[in-house]
């Protein structure tokens, strides 16, 4: 029967198999963490190809991060071999960029359009705000960028922003500024991240023939992490699936953690409405984690009210209890984590099976410091870390100018880097003249007729600069692009600039530039490389080396590790103070979903820790363990800690799971060390008790000063 022909089906359980074999029509798989949703998706993909329903290039598969795309590509590669190369596999953004480049002229761009990063967006918003005569102090460019992003996430063009929304920005001029911003983007031949989707949707809507082509091409659509799609992404999917309805989405409402980016769990309900014939499949068996881990995660998420609700079970045995460690301070916490890692490594476990998952990016530093100190190989996954460094960004701006002369933002960034004696006035003069003549700045700068009235020195500097760019562009036609980039770094003076600088960082920057050239050479062409840079989320992977991963909880979605460290489980850190302040209970529930995501990344071992003291701006502040710690059921948790805090709690009959009624309950020794309770954190300003009973004042959003204890308490 089928199982012999398709061996990859054999390992699936009945529900998974049903989800894989329901090839035609809409399918929605709603299931908890580790139940094999992603596995269903990859197997389904293999099955589509294997049964001849579709060729690889007729399948569109959407993942949430580039890292997830890579992992899925590997999984699929194992299932169907070399054929995976033709797949349309990637994030919404990368897929949209790919489609847009083919039809760029239909939306007022050319195929070499630039994808702007956040810095560029802010610079552009600033220009727009200034040009409109809006008070920049009252309406900072960042605010406008945020609003535009939000509107794009909802799928609104400038004309579609509802009055009430538009009125919240720049006294009702929000929509006008948005329109001006879009116009300027077109002039620059550029798109921001939100545009990739918006322009693709506009393309589909305004050119039904183009849409029809893509609908015919993508016979099957697969979407992972569906709970985190925003409205624009949903609209895009619906347009593509409209003709055939062959769309399969998998997701978990308990793992929805991107509402701040406009993601809407409502899309799950909308799916069932838009595709009423949808097959809805639920998976309940978890294959990833042991019993204690699963039970602990389940107990935490059970505190959320807004849930569709589901059960999970595992056949895997109880395993180790979730370890909860109280530490004296952040340094001790980092030491503790590295000790456990070394211990596990000594037992033969590989570092790549371990991850430290933090709530906020800044938390990585303590672990990075510790790992560097003891020589523990690690990588920080996620963020644009490497490509965000200034020296790298300068080099990238040069490359962008070589490929896209119209990239005025790149021009402004590097025309005087390294310093060529071009003041702001000269650059302004070029900008004004270029705009008047309707030319890119790079082109205008080369023309003394267009830009008049410059001093000879500035004139010569501009001439040199434009000649260099033109020279490298010309060189690209007959030399390897890596070689051209190397020349560019030398001839532009970028390398020299760091060679002459005698700071400790300068060598690191030179190393980064070398690494940059190495990366460029991995790509077929310079445009392909720049495309990669624009889209890539996580870059610091040196393949093959055994390393501990450090990443944010958001970045860890969909991944799994044998051992997961979850540090910083303190009120204000996690749940994050701002999430609570800005979105109240919704914010708290989203933080709790994040806790659920964190714990469920673990296959065998979850290690949660918190510190009793944190150093913030040279002050010692005492911290309160996260409410999520208390929501962990005692029977699935193993408490330990040198501070004795937790042991004390247990000895005193500490009751986990469930919030204490009296925020200052003295039953727990820990409560006595609290400066203020989480409940009062949300109040505007409150008075709370310290260890010795004296009252301190706590300001809104701020931290109170706690007396530094002499050393780790015993027992
Ligand atoms: P998440 O919600 O975290 O994204 P998921 O539902 O996508 O999780 P997967 O990552 O697909 O879950 O699967 C979790 C783990 O369980 C993986 O290691 C996967 O290989 C394994 N697994 C899934 N289904 C089975 C099965 N039928 N037999 C054995 N292992 C399985
Ligand atoms: Mg998954």
**Residues 30, 308: contact at Cβ < 8 Å?**
yes
Q: In ligand 1, which atom is closest to the CA atom of 255?
A: 2
* Binding-site entries for ATP: 31-38
Q: What is the pLDDT of residue 684?
A: 24
Burial class (CB in 10 A: 0-12, 13-18, 19+), 320: middle
Respond yes or no: is residue 37 known to be catalytic: yes
Cα 92 to ligand 1 centroid, rounded to whole Å: 23
Q: Is the CB of 558 under 6 A from ligand 1?
A: yes
Nearest CA, atom 9, ligand 1: 36
Q: What is the pLDDT of residues 379-424, one digit of tens each?
A: 887 643 556 678 888 999 999 999 999 999 999 999 999 988 888 8
For residues 497 and 601, what is the distance between their CA atoms, to the nearest angstrom? 44
Catalytic: which of 38, 63, 182, 233?
38
Reply yes or no on whether 501 is catalytic. no
- Rounded distance from Cα 33 to ligand 1 centre (Å): 8
Give the max Cα distance, the chain. 84
Atom 11 in ligand 1: which residue has the minimum CA distance? Answer: 36
Distance from the alpha carbon of residue 323 to the mean position of ligand 1, in angstroms: 23
Phi, psi of 350 (to 5 degrees): -90, 145
The C-alpha atoms of residue 272 and residue 183 are separated, in whole angstroms, by 37
Ligand 1 centroid to Cα of residue 77, in Å, is 17
The complex scores an ipTM of 0.99
**Which residue, judged by its Cα, is nearest atom 21 of ligand 1?**
287
Average pLDDT over the chain reads 82
pLDDT, tens digit, for every residue of 10-27?
A: 899 999 999 999 999 999
* pTM beyond cutoff 0.90: no
Most confident of 144-153, 322-331, 446-455, 592-601: 592-601
The number of CA neighbours under 13 Å toward the Cβ of 65 is 18
Q: What is the DSSP string of 477-489?
A: TTS-HHHHHHHHH
Interval 51-60 mean pLDDT: 91
Structure tokens at 526: 């310079």
**Per-residue pLDDT for 494 more than 80?**
yes
Rounded Cα gap, residues 77 and 541, in angstroms:
20
CB-based burial, 165-198: b 16+ in 10 Å, e otherwise: bbeebbeebbbbbbebbbebbeebbbbbbbbbbb
Q: Is the pLDDT of residue 288 over 80?
A: yes
Give the position, in ligand 1's atom list, of the atom nearest the Cα of 31: 6
Residue 585: per-residue pLDDT = 82
List own/partner pairs for 628-631 with CB under 8 A and 24 or more apart.
Answer: 628/300, 628/569, 628/574, 628/575, 628/591, 628/592, 628/595, 629/324, 629/569, 629/656, 630/656, 630/657, 630/658, 630/659, 630/660, 631/299, 631/300, 631/303, 631/656, 631/657, 631/658
**Residue 288 Cβ contacting ligand 1 at under 6 Å:** yes
359 is catalytic: no
Question: pLDDT tens across 506-522, in order?
Answer: 766 787 788 788 778 87
CA distances from 55 to 27, 52, 219, 625 (A): 20, 7, 9, 53
The Cα 394–Cα 462 span in angstroms is 17
Does 151 have pLDDT greater than 50?
Answer: yes
Let me know if 154 is a catalytic residue: no
Residue 657 has pLDDT above 50, yes or no: no
Identified catalytic residue from 117, 225, 407, 531: 225
Residue tagged active-site, from 39, 154, 601, 605: 601
Which pair of structure tokens corresponds to residue 705?
């000063």
Q: Which atom of ligand 1 is nearest to the CA of 35?
A: 6
Per-residue pLDDT, 269: 79
DSSP string, 182-243: HHHHHHTTEE-HHHHHHHHHHHHHH-HHHHHHHHHH--EEEESSGGG-BHHHHHHHHHHHTT
Q: Is the pLDDT of residue 468 over 50?
A: yes
Name the CA radius of gyration of the chain, rounded: 28
* CB environment 63-91: b (16+ within 10 A), e (fewer): bbbbbbbebbbebbbebbeebbeebbbbb
As given in the structure block, the two tokens for residue 687 are: 């008075």
38 is annotated as an active-site residue: yes
The Cα–Cα gap between 635 and 321 comes to 8
Are residues 374 and 406 in contact, defined by beta-carbon separation less than 8 angstroms?
no
Task: DSSP for 292-325, please give it.
Answer: HHHHHHHHHHTT-SS------B-SS---SPEEEE
Nearest CA to ligand 1 atom 30: 287
Q: Determine whether the shortest distance from the Cβ of 441 to ligand 1 is under 6 A.
A: no
Is residue 289 within 6 Å of ligand 1 at its C-beta? no
At residue 538, the pLDDT reads 39
* 421 contacts 386 by C-beta, under 8 angstroms: no
Which of 205, 247, 202, 210 lies closest to 226 in space, CA to CA? 247
Q: Residue 293: which of 60, 566, 21, 83 has the closest Cα?
A: 566
What's the pLDDT tens digit per position in 416-447? 999 888 888 899 899 999 999 999 999 999 88
What is the per-residue pLDDT across 331-387, written as a single tens digit (0 to 9) for each?
899 999 999 999 999 999 999 999 999 987 667 767 876 886 787 888 887 643 556
Give the mutation target among 74, 227, 287, 293 for probing the ligand 1 site: most ligand atoms within 8 A of CB: 287
Contact 406, 439 (CB under 8 A): no
Residue 255 CA: which ligand is closest? Answer: 1
What is the arithmetic mean of pLDDT over 172-198? 92
Please give the Cα distance from 435 to 419 (Å, whole number).
24
Do the Cβ atoms of 111 and 101 come closer than 8 Å? yes
Ligand closest to Cα of 601 equals 1
| Tens digits of residue pLDDT in 103-121 | 999 999 998 898 887 778 8
Q: Is the CB of 523 under 6 A from ligand 1?
A: no
Q: What is the pLDDT of residue 536?
A: 53
What is the DSSP-derived secondary structure letter of residue 259? G
Q: In the predicted model, is pLDDT for residue 625 greater than 60?
A: yes
Torsion angles phi and psi, residue 4, rounded to 5: -80, -40
Over residues 659-683, the mean pLDDT reads: 29
The answer on pLDDT for 78 being more than 60 is yes
**C-beta separation of 610 from 571 below 8 A:** no
Q: Whose CA is nearest to atom 2 of ligand 1?
A: 33
Q: Check if 503 is active-site.
A: no
pLDDT of residue 662: 31
Half-sphere exposure (Cβ direction) of 591: Cα atoms closer than 13 Å: 27
């Amino acid at each position: 029967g089928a199982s012999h022909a398709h061996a990859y089906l054999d390992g699936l359980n009945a529900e998974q198999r049903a989800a894989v074999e329901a090839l035609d029509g809409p399918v929605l798989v709603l299931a908890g963490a580790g139940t094999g949703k992603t596995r269903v998706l990859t197997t389904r993909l293999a099955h589509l190809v294997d049964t001849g329903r579709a060729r690889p290039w007729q399948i569109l598969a959407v993942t949430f991060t580039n890292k997830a795309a890579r992992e899925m590509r590997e999984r699929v590669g194992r299932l169907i071999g070399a054929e995976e190369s033709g797949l349309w596999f990637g994030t919404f953004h990368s897929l949209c960029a790919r489609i847009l480049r083919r039809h760029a002229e239909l939306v007022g761009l050319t195929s070499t359009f630039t994808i702007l990063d956040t810095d560029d967006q802010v610079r552009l918003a600033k220009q727009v705000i200034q040009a409109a005569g809006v008070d920049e102090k009252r309406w900072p460019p960042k605010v406008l960028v945020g609003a535009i992003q939000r509107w794009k996430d909802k799928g609104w063009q400038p004309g579609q922003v509802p009055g009430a929304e538009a009125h919240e920005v720049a006294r009702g001029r929000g929509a006008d500024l948005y329109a001006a911003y879009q116009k300027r983007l077109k002039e620059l031949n550029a798109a921001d991240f939100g545009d990739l989707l918006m322009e693709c949707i506009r393309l589909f809507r305004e050119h039904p023939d183009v849409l029809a082509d893509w609908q015919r091409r993508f016979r099957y659509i697969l979407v992972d992490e569906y709970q985190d799609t925003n409205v624009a992404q949903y609209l895009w999917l619906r347009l593509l699936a409209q003709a055939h309805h062959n769309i399969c989405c998998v997701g978990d409402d308990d793992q929805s953690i991107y509402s701040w980016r406009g993601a809407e769990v409502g899309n799950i309900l909308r799916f069932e409405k838009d595709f009423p014939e949808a097959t809805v499949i639920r998976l309940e068996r978890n294959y990833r984690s042991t019993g204690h881990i699963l039970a602990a995660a389940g107990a935490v998420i059970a505190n959320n009210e807004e849930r569709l609700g589901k059960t999970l079970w595992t056949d895997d045995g109880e395993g180790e209890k979730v370890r909860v460690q109280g530490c004296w301070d952040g340094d001790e916490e980092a030491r503790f984590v590295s000790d456990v890692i070394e211990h596990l490594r000594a037992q033969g476990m590989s570092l790549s099976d371990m991850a430290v998952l933090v709530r906020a990016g800044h938390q990585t530093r303590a672990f990075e410091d510790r790992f560097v100190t003891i020589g523990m190989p690690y990588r920080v996954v996620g963020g644009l870390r490497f490509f965000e460094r200034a020296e790298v960004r300068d080099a990238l701006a040069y490359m962008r100018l070589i490929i896209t002369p119209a990239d005025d933002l790149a021009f402004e960034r590097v025309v005087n880097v390294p310093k060529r004696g071009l003041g702001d006035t000269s650059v302004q003069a070029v900008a004004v003249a270029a705009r008047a003549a309707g030319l890119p700045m790079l082109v205008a700068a080369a023309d003394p007729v267009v830009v008049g009235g410059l001093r000879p020195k500035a004139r010569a500097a501009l001439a040199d600069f434009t000649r260099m760019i033109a020279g490298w562009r010309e060189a690209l036609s007959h030399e390897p692009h890596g070689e051209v980039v190397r020349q560019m770094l030398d001839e532009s003076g970028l390398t020299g600039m760091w060679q002459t600088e005698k700071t400790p960082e300068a060598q690191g920057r030179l190393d980064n530039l070398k690494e940059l050239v190495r990366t460029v050479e991995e790509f077929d062409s310079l445009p392909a490389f720049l495309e990669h840079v624009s889209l890539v989320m996580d870059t610091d992977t040196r393949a093959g080396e055994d390393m501990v991963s450090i990443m944010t909880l958001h970045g860890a979605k969909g991944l799994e590790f044998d051992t997961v460290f979850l540090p910083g489980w303190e009120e204000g850190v996690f749940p994050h103070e701002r999430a609570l302040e800005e979105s109240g209970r919704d914010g708290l529930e989203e933080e709790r979903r994040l806790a659920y995501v964190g714990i469920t990344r673990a296959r065998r071992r979850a290690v949660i820790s918190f510190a009793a003291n944190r150093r913030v701006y040279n002050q010692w502040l005492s911290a309160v363990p996260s409410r999520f710690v208390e929501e962990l059921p005692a029977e699935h948790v193993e408490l330990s800690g040198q501070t004795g805090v937790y042991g004390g709690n247990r000895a005193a009959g500490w009751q986990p799971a469930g919030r204490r009624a009296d925020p200052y309950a003295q039953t727990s020794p820990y409560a006595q060390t609290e400066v203020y309770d989480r409940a009062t954190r949300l109040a505007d300003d409150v008075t709370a008790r310290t260890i010795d009973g004296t009252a301190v004042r706590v300001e809104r959003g701020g931290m109170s000063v706690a007396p530094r204890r002499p050393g780790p308490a015993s027992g």
